[in-house]
Amino acid sequence: MVSRAERGPLAEWFWTIDRYFLAVFVLLIGTGFMLSFAASPAVAERIGLDSFHFVERHALFLLPSIIVMVGLSFLSPRQVRRAAMIMLVVSLAMMVLVLFIGMEVKGSRRWITISFLSIQPSEFMKPAFVVVCAWLFAEHQRQPDIPGNLFAMILFVIVAALLIAEPDLGQTILTTAVWGSMFFMAGMPWIWIVLMAGGAAGGLFFAYGFFPHVALRINQFLTGEGNTYQVDTAHEAIVRGSWFGSGPGEGIVKRILPDSHTDFVFSVAAEEFGVIFCMALLGLYIFVVMRGLSHAFRDRSHFTRFAVAGLVLQIGFQSIINIGVNLQLLPAKGMTLPLISYGGSSQIAICVTAGFILALTRHRPEKRAQERSFFRTGYGAPAAE
């Protein structure tokens, strides 16, 4: 046990970190590894690989993911901004490259191969984009003559254009929802709210008209006609699991469920561990979002407020999309369940998000003094960071 009397970096980290956040993130990572034993062997066998191929690869990314999360949690807010800026520049450059030299999978170019690793740059772009936009919004709040909001809009357009070019409409919707929420927190004028709502509606009509696979999935969702094998099988797995599940390793429907280790791992969890387990899993994501928003509300720093809110909303919205697809509440869309689904890029990138959250919510003496001043005087201008 680390003593409060110690003054080393590790002791300071231990006593200032939000240990509830840390515990939930570690619990989700452990749950994801456990579910990989249930969800991935059938997929591996169907494509001619060793039964535990995906389990071993999941384990391979486990330690680096935890190291990334804990390592980033040591950073100060200023260092978080700098790290995010570097990550955003690199990921955007790779997103441009992926359009020319990336692997094409199911009609999309989202992955780039470096040595023996396949990297999805857009996954690393997401947390970096949130932090950089939070800084731009905060700079405009701190000094209105700085065009931070305008730069955030330009950055959003660049990111959205690159995602649409891949194409990756799911990530585009997720990024738009998070960015719009942050802009709203930053005091978005009503005219912009109307314009953004119109733009979002126009974007959906554009996607429906110009991307056949999007139109197909929306039509299947609305009519129930066509090839709905994946979502129907996922629904069957959930129904079969009932309240308490069929038991670890006893799932039957999971054996014929495509992408059971990635997009539909929630359905596998429901079949083997039951609806109550899935409700507890959903509760962990709700806890992350609510605790993050609570931190954001209390923090006087505009940057920290926007960044923490944006990062936890990113996890929350992504969870909603994945679970909504599994429950047939949303059209089918390939998106992982944060910290649970198999995927190297997704796993490490979500741990980057978690690391940024842990770093920005640490209890620092100057932060506590600002919070006390904040509640005494109201929403005044934050101190320079």
pLDDT score of 262: 82
Collect all residues with Cβ–Cβ distance below 8 Å to 164 and sequence separation of at least 6. 172
pLDDT score of 374: 46
d(CA 368, CA 223): 54
Which string of b and e fits 96-120 if b means at least 16 CB within 10 Å? eebeeebeeeeebbbbbeeeeebbb
Name the DSSP class of 384: P
How do the pLDDT tens digits run along the chain, 385 residues long? 555 555 677 778 878 899 999 999 999 999 999 999 888 888 888 887 888 888 888 888 899 999 999 999 999 999 999 999 999 999 999 999 998 887 777 667 787 877 767 888 999 999 999 999 999 999 998 888 888 889 999 999 999 999 988 888 889 989 999 999 999 888 877 777 777 777 777 777 777 777 776 777 777 777 766 677 778 888 888 888 888 888 887 778 878 888 788 888 899 899 999 999 999 999 999 999 999 999 998 888 999 999 999 999 999 999 999 999 888 888 877 788 999 998 878 899 999 999 999 999 998 765 555 545 444 544 444 444 5
Give the chain's radius of gyration (CA, Å): 21
Burial class from Cβ neighbours inside 10 Å (0-12, 13-18, 19+) for residue 151 reads: middle
d(CA 54, CA 44): 7
Mapped onto helix, strand or coil, the DSSP state of residue 146 is coil
- DSSP letter string over 345-358? HHHHHHHHHHHHHH
Q: Tokens representing 73?
A: 């949690």
d(CA 300, CA 293): 13
- Percent of the chain scored above 90 by pLDDT? 42
Burial class from Cβ neighbours inside 10 Å (0-12, 13-18, 19+) for residue 368 reads: exposed
d(CA 22, CA 321): 24
Q: Tokens representing 67?
A: 């190291």
pLDDT score of 348: 93
Longest CA span, the chain: 66
Find out whether 312 and 288 touch, Cβ atoms under 8 Å: yes
- DSSP letter string over 217-273? HHHHHHH--S--HHHHHHHHHHHHHTTT-S-TT--SGGGG-TTTTTTTHHHHHHHHH
d(CA 11, CA 5): 8
Mapped onto helix, strand or coil, the DSSP state of residue 103 is strand
Q: Tokens representing 139?
A: 């700079």
Collect all residues with Cβ–Cβ distance below 8 Å to 84 and sequence separation of at least 6. 127, 128, 130, 131, 132, 135, 356
Find out whether 381 and 142 touch, Cβ atoms under 8 Å: yes
Collect all residues with Cβ–Cβ distance below 8 Å to 312 and sequence separation of at least 6. 288, 289, 291, 292, 293, 296, 357
